């Protein structure tokens, strides 16, 4: 099974389970969807981005930087402020810290995304223009008032 097909299957299963839990919560507590979503998502299992990448067929131990970045984007996880890091430094930082930090296992959805800022607190010079080409979430429609 290809990574794309595997990801679609994983996301479909996780989304179906989340939607069932949201529907059950809404019915049980007679609340609005947003409230049920928050309750269900807060109760979701804990994991890390390393394991999430493995779930969709990407082995972070051997994957290159582009594969990891694009795999994270499949989960609605986006990097920013990376231009002060070389590719090898960013890859090392991802593999030894960022991908191992605890996160909640929530399937990609239109209501949320995660942004990981690799902030340049030391004011290091830029060594790339990578940020301009990083995956970004699609713009959300905005409500209009008449």
Each residue's pLDDT tens digit, 92-112: 999 999 999 999 999 999 889
Instruction: Using pLDDT thresholds of 50, 70 and 90, give the confidence band for residue 145.
Output: low
Q: For 2-11, 19-28, 102-111, 136-145, which range has the lowest pLDDT when averaged over its residues?
A: 136-145
CA separation for the pair 41, 59 (Å, rounded): 26
Task: Work out the mean pLDDT of the chain and round it to a whole number.
Answer: 93
CA separation for the pair 101, 49 (Å, rounded): 7
Angle at alpha carbon of residue 137, lines to 58 and 126, rounded to 5°: 80
89 in any annotated domain: yes
144 in any annotated domain: no
Structural domain containing residue 83? 3-133
Residue 115's SS3 state is strand
43 in any annotated domain: yes
Average pLDDT over residues 5-13: 93
| pLDDT, tens only, 14-54 | 999 999 999 999 999 999 999 999 999 999 999 999 999 99
Number of domains the chain is built from: 1
146 in any annotated domain: no
Average pLDDT over residues 48-75: 98
140 in any annotated domain: no
Angle at alpha carbon of residue 130, lines to 126 and 134, rounded to 5°: 145
- The predicted pLDDT at position 136 comes to 94
15 in any annotated domain: yes
Higher pLDDT, 139 or 34: 34
CA-based nearest residue to 83, from 126, 36, 136 = 126
Higher pLDDT, 73 or 139: 73
107 in any annotated domain: yes
Q: Is the pLDDT of residue 79 over 90?
A: yes
């Amino acid at each position: 099974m290809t990574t794309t097909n595997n990801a679609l299957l994983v996301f479909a299963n996780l989304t179906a389970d989340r939607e069932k839990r949201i529907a059950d919560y809404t019915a049980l507590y007679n609340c609005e969807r947003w409230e049920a979503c928050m309750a269900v998502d807060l109760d979701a299992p804990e994991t890390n981005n390393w394991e999430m990448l493995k779930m969709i067929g990407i082995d972070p131990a051997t994957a290159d930087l582009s594969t990891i970045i694009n795999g994270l984007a499949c989960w609605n996880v986006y990097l920013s402020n990376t231009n002060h890091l070389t590719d090898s430094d960013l890859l090392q930082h991802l593999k030894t810290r960022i991908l191992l930090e605890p996160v909640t296992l929530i399937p990609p959805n239109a209501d949320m995304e995660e942004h990981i800022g690799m902030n340049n607190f030391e004011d290091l010079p830029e060594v790339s223009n990578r940020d301009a080409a990083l995956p970004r979430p699609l713009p959300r429609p905005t409500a209009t008032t008449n």
